[in-house]
Amino acid sequence: MKPTLFGIGIAIVSLVVGILAASAVWIFWDAWKAADRDAFRALVGAFAGAFFAYLFVRFADGFKKVYDRKEKNHTSLVRLQHYFNDCLSITSDNLFIADDCVKVFNEQRLRSGELSIYMNVFHPYPIDRELVIGLTNVRFVNEVYSLNVEFSKLNDSLATVDRAYSQVRDAFVAKHVDAAVYILNARRTRERCAELKGYLLQTKQELIRLFAVTNLLLKDPPFLVRVIRSLTQTTYPPDFEVALAPEVLRVTSEMEGIGRASAKRIQEAQISVAQPSSAADAAQAPRR
């Protein structure tokens, strides 16, 4: 059915184009045969002007779309840099929690009866699926999409470990399970954290690689971005370090002054609150 409709559409378009072409040829031929050459020149001039104006508009619109697409790609790459940086920070936190959990629930402590209550939880990864829409590199789009899929799976695993331990921890604190059950689940939590550490290290390496890919892709910014970079200051001036030290001292002094003023206001407020209470106590004291 679809091929038939497509063929009918092609036939209709071809018929319309043929009619327009025949009409244009007839008009030019009739004007050429006419005695008035000025009318023919005016007709050709009007047609050429309209034709080249149309071409100019279409080319300008096409170039604008290409530039807008490239600028959107550049903006998405900059946002991805911040996204990868945040994910690297979360990965470092999760690696610390995994190592800390293994240390807290080491076998020597558990056998000695030193039962610790662990309160840290893993941090989930944010998943921004809109970032890939602005990218133009298909291979990079697939890599970012695969990373988001891995984040989704990793979030489920992290939440499962946290949920499994928190249930046993709360039950142990409430005296609903004995120490033997708690120690058994602590060992399982330690094993799961050690397993998660391997996945977290792989995630860290993948994030570093994608961050490096983003840096390389950002080396070809749009034309206007290059102009803005050349006109605005993007690095520290040569004498920046010399001027930084006294500025740090000035800011520190201002912050200390604000702290002293705040402490003075708090002290005055405490005195004003204490004075009416003292006066009321004196009024209520029995007279002899």
Interval 132-166: pLDDT, tens: 888 888 888 899 999 999 999 999 999 999 999 99
Residue 11 within any structural domain of the chain: no
Total count of domains within the chain: 1
Looking at residues 33-56, what average pLDDT do you find? 61
pLDDT at 93: 93
Residue 163 within any structural domain of the chain: yes
Which pLDDT band holds residue 125 (cuts at 50, 70, 90)?
Answer: very high
Residue 13 within any structural domain of the chain: no
Residue 2 within any structural domain of the chain: no
- How many CB atoms within 10 Å of residue 125? 21
Looking at residues 34-63, what average pLDDT do you find? 63
Q: Which residue has the higher pLDDT, 12 or 249?
A: 249
Q: Which residue has the higher pLDDT, 152 or 67?
A: 152
Residue 94 within any structural domain of the chain: yes
Residue 228 within any structural domain of the chain: no
Residue 142 within any structural domain of the chain: yes
pLDDT at 221: 61
Within 13 Å and on the Cβ side, how many CA atoms surround 224?
8
pLDDT at 202: 94
Domain residues for the domain of 148 are 73-219
